[in-house]
Amino acid sequence: MGFGAKIAGGCNIGALFSSLPQFNLSGWIFLLFVFLGATAGGRLLRNFFEPPVSNKRPNRKRLTPEQRKQRRIIQIVLGVVLTLVVVIVSFVVAPSYPKAPGIIFVGIGLGYVMQRSRFCFTAAYRDPGLTGETKLTRAVIVALALSTILFFGIQASKYGIDLANLQSTPGGTVNLSLVIGSFVFGIGAVLAGGCASGTFVRMGEGYLQNYIAFVFFACGTALGEVFNIATKGTFVKAGSPIYLPQLFGGMMPALFIQLLVLLALWVLAYWWEQRKIAQRNAQSN
């Protein structure tokens, strides 16, 4: 997962939500191949990594309600203390890095929303092929549509809708490294039980497997950097950003086409879920 994110130029946040809403083709390519990778990862998970079914209950010590309450209090206290420490540090470094407090508060808000909403990018890619459910898939599509509208407003207010006013082309580079990285990232996220953001959320919830995933995510990132250095200047890295407004002849056509495609994907996801539900109902009858 870390390897894929590094060579793709980012994970769901960096390579998808920072590119697709800004009308860069790299975001669409990441979305396509991370979906394919997650589908492949789901097959691997089901066929090779799913634990065997056993009627024997695991020999675990059951906690009393008082013990569970005590552990929950400890977790909350530790979370509050850690949050305060991070916030204080952000203000300490603010003179040299003014954006630090804002970034920290956005991160805290994102973590809280993702934990409370049970929002999961990995499940959004994995579930359509594994279980047929597309609730989270449709949520990601809606989020991308809203982000597209928001970024369009920001770009239009700053540069206008005239492409001649753009100082640079936003987004990532379209190349083979992006394709390979996003596909590998999709596989790794499913096998690890969450993407980068999901891993952090579940670490906060106390899941040991995600601490292990985080360690190997860091190792994979280091390997990805080695790969980037080794392939620099080769055909793997050859490419350039492709800005959809330039491709479609303007900001408004790009906005219309992108929202139309996202709407079509939402309808397709809804149809797929209803089809799977109908199939399960037919089998049960």
Out of 52-56, 212-216, 278-282, least confident range: 52-56
pLDDT in tens, 218-235: 999 999 999 999 999 899
pLDDT digits 0-9 by tens, 163-213: 666 655 556 789 999 999 999 999 998 888 888 888 888 888 778 888 898
Stated pTM of the model: 0.83
Q: Could you tell me the pLDDT band of residue 83, with boundaries at 50, 70 and 90?
A: confident
- Determine which of 65-79, 83-97, 244-258 has the lowest per-residue pLDDT on average: 65-79
Asked if 64 and 56 touch (Cβ cutoff 8 Å), the reply is no
Average pLDDT estimate for 33-50: 86
Average pLDDT, the chain: 86
pLDDT of 64 strictly over 90 = no
56 pLDDT above the threshold of 60: no
pLDDT above 60: residue 54: no
Mean pLDDT of 247-265: 92
CA 37 to CA 125: how far, in whole Å?
A: 9
Confidence at residue 163, expressed as pLDDT on a 0 to 100 scale: 65
* pLDDT for 120: 80
Residue 117 is predicted with a pLDDT of 77
Predicted confidence (pLDDT) at residue 131 exceeds the cutoff of 90: no
Confidence of residue 58 (pLDDT cuts 50, 70, 90): low
pLDDT the model gives residue 170 = 59
Does the pLDDT at position 250 exceed 60?
Answer: yes
